[in-house]
Amino acid sequence: MKKEVLFALLAVTSSYSSLAAAEQNLTPVINAAGKTLEFDWPTIRVGTGEYDEGPTGVTVFHFQKRSLVAIDARGGGPGTVNSDYLRLGYEVPKLDAIVLSGGSWYGLESTTAVSTALKDDGLRDARWGNVALAVGSIIYDFGERRLNEVYPDKKLAQAAFRAARPGVFPLGAYGAGRMAKSGGYFNCNAHSGQGGAFKQIGELKIAAFTVVNAMGVITKRDGSIAACFREASWPKNLSAFDLADGTPDSRKPGWTGHALDEDQRANTTISLLVVNQKMSYAELNRLAVQVHTSMARGIQPFATEFDGDVLYAVSTGELEKKEGSTVTPVDIGVIAADVMWDAILASVPEQPAAPKANPRLKLSARELERYVGEYTFSEFARLRITTRDNKLFAQATGPRDVFALKRTAAIELQPVARNEFTVPSRYPLLVKFPAPGQVILNPGRWQQSGHRAP
């Protein structure tokens, strides 16, 4: 190979490496929260970290006392770290931390990062029996839901771990649930997140935490759907049963539905159940199976070929078994199943309302001209804004479509306000120009930012 060609290849490789490094040179947002679950359990510390640029995130559970753990995996695509070790059934408590993360398999870096943080911070070392044990699972939060490939990395996970605190768990689109969705099987594509619930009966404590990124719809106890961007033709009071009963037609556009009483192949629900009562590995394993099975009530359908559902069951062992006062494992399973359903419902954030175009708002050609240009979201997604006949148009020009803005043709952006526009569709889309040279799609927890080329 000629020297000039070799140098050229090295230069190209270097530029791509620099670009990749620059994309992940991001600032962690730690322990952001809106609505939270507050629970009394000092030995469980929770930390969350997020990259707004994704958006994506990670949630870390740090157990101050080493605990016993079992795992139950369902669905066709689980992504885990150290799961095989958990299945060996040792009765010795060794668990230090559980890490739930976005970023698909790239996000598994978060789990090993927490292990090394435990060592680097002097909490564990390399002696046999004192090596840090962190286990973890991921959700797929890429694809059509966002326009980049930012993932939770070592820096984000370690920052979340070191900021972990007791008794506070953010609900909704935070941590690992920052870009979660649900209901893709029926094209609901509702925003989801992480949920938690806590119950104490006497000295017994039970906590449930879950990140719902499910193919199925989140279902309330009365059978109604908790969140869904519905087809306009669907009856208002359509239930999860009605959707399942109408399959496969209910998955097709234009289905009108029948109410009895008036992103979508990469999905996962990752969950954690914690009890303070001392349990054997066999009891804990059966508890994991029982509660995981019960989750099919709150998510319908559950554990499909395209889900990667994983549940961890942990016993902190703080409550010793006592003759006559110990709650049986079966009873704990029944109680915990209901607590987990509460956690599933708590994962649902407030859904964005569809913007409404203002037909009376007329913008001048000069006003519209301010927004014209090519906007870049990532190497995969670009948007070209043009004007014609005093109207604004948008067309995706990169390798991928930009939500409802396709590569095939320019689509009119209808004005909502002087710097806000929409494209009417089943799924809300707001295009906002907050400053010269900047565009934001769907401002808020799930926004995507683009910048105009000079």
In angstroms, the Cα distances linking 364 to 387, 389, 420, 430 are 11, 10, 14, 20
Cis ω on the peptide bond leading into residue 55 (within 30° of 0)? yes
- Measured distance CA(176)–CA(402) in Å, rounded: 23
In angstroms, the Cα distances linking 261 to 130, 221, 247, 258 are 59, 16, 18, 9
Q: Answer for the pair 300, 307: CB distance below 8 angstroms, yes or no.
A: no
For 359, residues 6+ apart whose C-beta sits below 8 A from its C-beta are none
In angstroms, the Cα distances linking 161 to 16, 32, 61, 157 are 30, 14, 8, 6
Residue with token string 């435990």: 118
Q: Answer for the pair 398, 382: CB distance below 8 angstroms, yes or no.
A: yes
268 is catalytic: yes
Q: Which of 253, 255, 330, 224 is nearest to 287 (CA)?
A: 330
Please identify which of the residues 48, 268, 316, 422 carries the catalytic annotation. 268
Residue with token string 């990124």: 213
Catalytic residues: 268
